[in-house]
Copies of this chain bind each other. A is one copy, B any other.
Amino acid sequence: MNMRSLSSSSSSSPATVTKLALSIHSSFPTLNLNPIFFYKFKSNKHNKPPFFSIRNCTTSNSISAKPSSQLRKNRSSNSDSDPKLTALRRLFSKPDVSIDAYIIPSQDAHQSEFIAQSYARRKYISAFTGSNGTAVVTNDKAALWTDGRYFLQAEKQLNSNWILMRAGNPGVPTTSEWLNEVLAPGARVGIDPFLFTSDAAEELKHVISKKNHELVYLYNSNLVDEIWKEARPEPPNKPVRVHGLKYAGLDVASKLSSLRSELVQAGSSAIIVTALDEIAWLLNLRGSDIPHSPVVYAYLIVEIDGAKLFIDNSKVTEEVDDHLKKANIEIRPYNSIVSEIENLAARGSSLWLDTSSVNAAIVNAYKAACDRYYQNYESKHKTRSKGFDGSIANSDVPIAVHKSSPVSLAKAIKNETELKGMQECHLRDAAALAQFWDWLEKEITNDRILTEVEVSDKLLEFRSKQAGFLDTSFDTISGSGPNGAIIHYKPEPGSCSTVDANKLFLLDSGAQYVDGTTDITRTVHFGKPTTREKECFTRVLQGHIALDQAVFPEDTPGFVLDAFARSFLWKVGLDYRHGTGHGVGAALNVHEGPQGISYRYGNLTPLVNGMIVSNEPGYYEDHAFGIRIECPDTILLDHQVCIRWKFCLQCGPHLAA
């Protein structure tokens, strides 16, 4: 039985829904047992931007609050020897390295949410496979920070040489606080500067400077790669493909032309683009370097009169080569990015750098090259020119222009063709989901025992039959009963549960198609849900509908609408501990910025006509059940309409629209 029948007992029509809210309103006194509160999460600046938070929250009150100090006592850090740690530490004392600690983050050089195995250094060094974690190795200690989703998993995967740092728990220091605690003052802390955004590296530098530690940028090699050697997977090298005009809607020349106007307006003569989805969008290219994201590893520099794509040439087909030539884009080796950045400064180019996304290696290389330029300039002109801070543009000296990437916003505002592709792929995706739910309902009704993974695999089978299917857009969250309450649950073949006909089943999944990207969550019950489950489901659905039907003034940031999605839960003292919506790419990343709908008030990006943003309120009762209802919505000038308007499985009101 699908969701429609689940909610039918109290009817999903708004009028009845309001009545329900009022009848519950009269039982307020019970609220004292159930006080209303927000769970606030310490933001992890080095990881995902706020709109990714929905995949980043801790999920449970049951996380251990043991301070790490106590944990450390239970582990004798030198009892076993870890050959990887030993090999890594041996490199610390090399003359061109000379460090006391090394930080290994999860990220690649582009701050991608999903990364190629070749760049999964933190996973290699620590054996911890979770998506979020930072490893720090000193001469006598090794520690790994991860969030509440992964505490149990990390406990199992880390060997006894590792200290598990339960990030966000009381008393657990941050990586930099811990370095200040364990290192003797004046230590040298090494990083691969390609793996940190400039902002993150600057913050790290600032904090550890309190103990006179120095942050050392090791440009020449990644120390983990050095010990990984032959075992390291090759960097991905699958061919790039052109994302045709019939999907992109706008040719590269037009996109570059708009970008160049923005460069001129900002007083810059070049921009470095490092986010892989921004490069893919701008150049109408797609790739297969990373699971779930149809992007390709590359850097892009756009100047007023030309552009250079830094990419492994072996991936560039003849078609792609022609496509790039047409747009006057030259190809350069991926690894020559830093020297080209230095050339730009030497030529006096003022470079637009988004320090919140561009890595420290590039920002620092430009800064150093500018300084050399100024010294040279001064010795010639006997006057000090404006420096790197770029407060005033000066036509003959290079100046960094620190602004958010203009490509991010341009990419988020979909054109007609992209919107059409998104609608069409959602229709096919919805057809696959309809087949899947029909199949699942029959199987469960016939008492078939199916695991969460089997069910997820079957969904993939249905989806992969649809035209233009390429990949899933993220790991399917298929959670029965209590597993549904684990917001980022990933079922594993050996250990996952079966889909219980008498429990709620939450399925959050999506796909990459040639013409668009989907991200859909449905929560269903195949038997008789409890009164509690029905009430919670109805309230989540009320919130979903309230947000879906929201009409709001231009220039409204997403967070203004967030309360609409929560208010029905709030009325009975409930809430959910994640944001309500994130941007969705058009045949690109399933999570994209800059917009979002969240209870965090920092994101002031207005919702703009043509943006796509998910609408996914939920409710999670630990150890019992989870509910989430998600559709991607399109922001239209006068009102907001769910783009699954015809095949939306649950959003009844849209069937008539």
Contact = CB atoms under 8 A, between A and B. Distances in A.
B552 A36 contact: yes
A554 to B, nearest CB: 5
A172 to B, nearest CB: 22
Nearest to A636: B28
A555 B38 contact: yes
A25 B550 CA distance: 10
A573 B554 CA distance: 10
A601 interface: yes
A350 B552 CA distance: 48
A570 B555 contact: no
Interface stretch (A13-21, A83-91, A444-452): A13-21
Interface string A100-137: 00000000000000000000000000000000000000
Nearest to A38: B553
A567 B553 contact: no
Contact of A604 (B562, B571, B575, B601): B601
Contacts of A637: 35
Interface in A531-574: 549-557, 559-564, 567, 570-571, 573
Contacts of A567: 550-552, 564
Contacts of A563: 552, 560-561, 563-564
A372 interface: no
A368 interface: no
Q: What is the total number of copies of this protein in its complex?
A: 2
A31 interface: yes
B571 A551 contact: yes
B638 A37 contact: no
Nearest to A554: B37
Interface residues of A, number: 42
Contacts of A562: 560
A348 to B, nearest CB: 28
A576 B555 CA distance: 15
Contact of A553 (B22, B37, B559): B37
A514 to B, nearest CB: 33
A316 B654 CA distance: 70
A55 interface: no
A32 interface: yes
A615 to B, nearest CB: 15
B638 A32 contact: yes
A15 B17 CA distance: 8
Contacts of A575: 553
A4 interface: no
Contacts of A16: 15
Interface of A: 14-19, 21-22, 25, 28, 31-32, 35-38, 549-557, 559-564, 567, 570-571, 573, 575, 599, 601, 604, 637-639
22 contacts: A14-B21, A14-B22, A15-B18, A17-B18, A18-B18, A28-B638, A35-B637, A35-B638, A36-B638, A37-B555, A38-B555, A550-B570, A551-B567, A551-B571, A552-B563, A552-B570, A553-B575, A557-B601, A559-B560, A561-B563, A563-B564, A564-B567
Enumerate the 10 nearest inter-chain pairs by beta-carbon distance, A residue then B residue, closest first: A31-B638, A36-B553, A38-B553, A14-B18, A15-B15, A551-B571, A551-B570, A18-B18, A15-B18, A560-B563
Given A14-B22, A36-B551, 4 more contacts: A36-B553, A550-B570, A552-B570, A560-B599
